[in-house]
Amino acid sequence: MNEDDGHSTLHLLCVAQTPQRRRRLEACAEKLADSAGEGPDWHSSSAPNARRALAILGAGWVDAALVDLDQQPALDFLQQARNSGIVTPLLVVTADAAAGHWRPLLEAGADEFLPADELTPLLLERSLRLCSRNQALESRLEYLAQHDMLTGLPNARLFERQLDLSLHTAERHGRCMALMCVHLDEFQARARSLGQEAAELLLKQSARRLRALLRRSDLVARSHNEEFLLLLECSADLSDLALTASRILETLAGRDATDDGCRASLGIAVFPHSSSEPRQLLDHARVALNQVRDAGGNDFRLYDEALEVVSHRRVLMESALPGAIQRNELSVRFQPRFDLRTRRITGAEVLLRWDSPDFGAVSPEQFIPAAEATGAINRIGGWVLEQTIRAGRQWLDAGHRLRLAVNVSGGQFRGGEFANELARLLEAHGLPAELLELELTEGVFVANVAEHRDLFTHLTALGVGLAVDDFGTGYSALAYLRHFPVHALKIDRTFIAPLPASEDDGAIVRAIVAMGHALDLRVVAEGVDSIEQIRFLEGIGCDEIQGYLVGMPMTAEELNTRLEQHPGASEDAWPA
């Protein structure tokens, strides 16, 4: 269709079996052109046979065809046209107006039939108008199926189609494309607090901002809920990528506090670096997006293969963890703690091990966060407590009063049953509560000041000890030490490792020991792995040590052997 002066010119192709029938069609079409007042201008041309007609229709510039072929050739023609993807309206002239005649034609793909003896310019014009209205309706329906009504942006379906085409073009021209997956971090909270309407406004506004920021040739789509997809060209060395990504985040967030924007997360996959497969490219952008969101959001990240390995492994791990207890894959080790003055073993830290047939020996540094994320930490933590209390009782029976320290995650307090469950276990196994110590990080104390004051009071009432784990790494505010009945500080091993060479770390460790003693707490140094560190710690009056040099994490039997060999004191733990 051509449009000049706002008046459109349409092309009608006349296809007929004989020159005589063709002339009749042409005559009708010409009158159509004459009579066209308000409507479009029709120009006609003709094709002498079906083969030629199909070639012309395939070229795509014809707006409708008027076909007068015998019944069977007409059916063949229609089928071939529709099978080759031609969607142009096809009006077929029939010699016979009986239903047995025209029904098969419509079934084969004709849009309309016109009985030969009734063919007039008026009928032709009406039929054409009807067909084009149908076509307009269809394209409206198609538009609706491919766009997001709220924002007017293409939806995921259309985006994926456009993505295919764009990647083909990029490949031909040797260009790089960045596929970005954008998630509005604050959308759900906004919807909950301000209602659906405000949330929809936010979506519309974000869509407008994205569209305004990006070039016309860039693709912007809303895939679902609060997620947008972008496809933009980027330089081969990706040097412009970070700038573009931060601009997008800034734009969505708004320029200042009065500007009601929204914080967002953004994952990027680059064609062809990350993948040249459209579907995979999308998956990769989503993997990167999830990494950003896991890390707290409001940032962007580029996909790299290592990420996928990590997140894939994490998903598999998360699903395997809950069954690990039943499958007997978990066990505990005991790492002895020594009194620095007497050099006796005072107790041990209980450290969890997971030996998985699928992942091998997984470090607790990896699976504990996974257990926390899935909630499996509750059952696993309960299991560790039970193992610990059982082992503590056996040592007590053998004449060793060992204080066992168990690591506890904040997540284990959820549900409010922690203290009761602990009391039940101590009671059931008959272990004196003072032989149990709970190691909690500073973060757990600080996060729970208000919420769990009662819990900690309950725990101390039971008589279990509380130790601050990884002390020095978390918070500079120490007020929480006043709020909680803490018994011990465990200086994080990152302060111990540089000793005694590092003067700064030396000063920090010295200060922690002095402060601990001022608050009447026992101070434990962890990660001790050299005799020089021991000398330094002895010199500043640290109370206890734990580390590979004096004792690796070991099984209960191994610790037993050690206790039996040196009943009471462990003189050869390190030279005096």
- One residue of 548, 564, 568, 569 binding ligand C2E per CB under 6 A: 548
With CB under 6 A as the contact rule, the residue among 267, 278, 472, 527 that binds ligand C2E is 527
Q: Which of residues 74-113 bind ligand C2E (CB under 6 A)?
A: none
Does residue 348 contact residue 337 with C-beta atoms inside 8 Å?
Answer: yes
Q: Cα(206)–Cα(146) distance, rounded to whole angstroms? A: 19
Sign of CA dihedral 504, 447, 547, 369: negative
368 binds, among ligand C2E, Ca ion, none (CB under 5 to 8 A by kind): ligand C2E
- What's the burial of 509, exposed, middle or buried (CB within 10 Å: 0-12/13-18/19+)? buried
Is the separation of the CB atoms in 65 and 53 below 8 Å?
A: yes
**Distance between CA atoms of 228 and 250, rounded to whole angstroms?**
15
426: how many CB neighbours lie within 10 A of its CB?
21
Residue number, 46 or 378, with CB nearest to ligand C2E: 378
Tell me the chain's radius of gyration from C-alpha atoms: 39
The site partner of 527 among Ca ion, ligand C2E, none (C-beta below 5 to 8 Å per kind) is: ligand C2E
Q: What is the dihedral of CA 103, 106, 108, 109, to 10 degrees?
A: 180
| Residue range at the interface with ligand C2E (CB under 6 A); choices 35-43, 288-296, 509-517, 525-533 | 525-533
Q: Pick the closer one to ligand C2E by CB: 33 or 373.
A: 373
Q: Residue for token digits 């792995």?
A: 529
Q: How far is the CB of 173 from ligand C2E (least distance, A)?
A: 51
Binding of ligand C2E by 364 (CB under 6 A): yes
Q: Is 352 in the site for ligand C2E (CB under 6 A)?
A: yes
Q: Is 363 in the site for ligand C2E (CB under 6 A)?
A: yes
* Token representation of residue 555: 């099984």
> CA 306 → CA 293, 312, 538, distances in Å?
17, 10, 44
d(CA 281, CA 231): 11
What mask, x for binding ligand C2E by CB under 6 A, covers residues 385 to 414?
----------------------xxx-----
Of these partners, Ca ion, ligand C2E, none, which one is at the site of residue 244 (CB under 5 to 8 Å by kind)? Answer: none
Residue 265 or 409: the one with the smaller Cβ distance to ligand C2E is: 409
Asked if residue 347 binds ligand C2E (CB under 6 A), the reply is: no
Q: Which of 287, 292, 302, 368 binds ligand C2E (CB under 6 A)?
A: 368
Closer CB to ligand C2E, residue 40 or residue 472? Answer: 472
493 contacts ligand C2E (rule: CB under 6 A): yes
The count of chain residues that interact with ligand C2E, using the rule CB under 6 A, is: 23
Helix ranges (DSSP H) in 352-449: 364-374, 377-397, 418-429, 442-447
What does residue 150 show for φ and ψ, rounded to 5 degrees?
Answer: -70, -45
Strands (E), 48-85: 64-68
- Contact with ligand C2E (CB under 6 A) among 112, 125, 148, 469: 469
In terms of CB distance, is 205 or 473 closer to ligand C2E? 473
- Under 8 Å between Cβ of 546 and 489: no
Instruction: Indicate the residue among 253 and 497 with the shorter CB distance to Ca ion.
Output: 497
Tell me which of Ca ion, ligand C2E, none is bound by residue 547, counting a contact when its beta carbon lies within the kind-specific cut-off of 5 to 8 angstroms: ligand C2E
* By CB under 6 A, residue 532 contacts ligand C2E: no
β-bridge pairing 544-546 and 360-362? unpaired
Contact of residue 363 among ligand C2E, Ca ion, none (CB under 5-8 Å per partner type): ligand C2E
Q: How many whole angstroms separate alpha carbon 213 and alpha carbon 206?
A: 11
365 binds ligand C2E (CB under 6 A): yes
Q: Which residue has the tokens 């091998």?
A: 360
3-state secondary structure 341-357: CCCEEEEEEEEEEEEEC
**3-class DSSP state of 298:** coil
Among 335, 346, 387, 533, binds ligand C2E (CB under 6 A): 335
Residues 303-332 close enough to bind ligand C2E by CB under 6 A: none
According to CB under 6 A, which residues from 31 to 60 bind ligand C2E?
Answer: none
In this chain, which of 384, 524, 537, 545 binds ligand C2E, going by CB under 6 A? 384
How do 112-115 and 90-94 pair as beta strands?
parallel
Q: Does 61 bind ligand C2E (CB under 6 A)?
A: no
CB of 533 to ligand C2E, least distance (A): 9
**What's 147's DSSP letter?**
B
**Cβ–Cβ < 8 Å for 367, 317:** yes
Instruction: Please report how close the Cβ of residue 389 comes to Ca ion at its closest, in angstroms.
Output: 17
**Nearer CB in complex with ligand C2E: 15/408:** 408
Binding site for ligand C2E (CB under 6 A): 335, 351-352, 363-365, 368, 381, 384, 407-409, 439, 469-470, 493, 526-529, 547-548, 553
